[in-house]
Structure 1
């Protein structure tokens, strides 16, 4: 499953970010988005882009295209 497929309020764990370019992956990792990190989708913009997510207690906005390249595992 990809990050952009989460529903509002749903949490997941980041599994893989290897589809991202090196520059974008580094920027996200600096902001705390690392493999095995829990993320929660706060909300999507009315047209679906950008997404507001919470990572390690910090709210981030990321583009839908970037979110579609981040593999996640939904937590039960």
Structure 2
């Protein structure tokens, strides 16, 4: 963090910064929002954590919500130059910090 402004500049891309706030999960974001992955956690399910890491949801990765199905599940995300569709239960395992551009 830099001083008192509460903004941390990510080296992941030009003009992207992370706003210091309460941790959120990927399922909380609305379409069009961008975020940076902080951690991936799943209570008692190491296979879920491993699978999400394999899909590109690693700490520091920038994720964008592309669109949501009509009943809010599943949701299409853009991460590391490709798109992946996750159910809300899976997205809730990905802890994020909202990013501003």
Check conservation: 2:32, 2:64, Cα contact below 8 A.
Answer: yes
Structure of greater Rg? 2
Say if 2:91 is the partner of 1:70: no
Number of aligned positions between the proteins: 76
Instruction: Tell which has more relative contact order, 1 or 2 (C-alpha 8 A, sep 6+).
Output: 1
TM-score of the superposed pair, with normalisation by structure 2: 0.70
Q: Structure 1 segments of 4 or more deviating over 4 A?
A: none
What's the C-alpha RMSD, in Å, of the aligned pairs? 1.2
Q: Which runs of 5 or more structure 1 residues have no equivalent in the other structure?
A: none
Structure 2: gaps of 5 or more residues: 1-23
Asked whether the 8 Å contact 2:40–2:52 carries over to 1, the reply is no
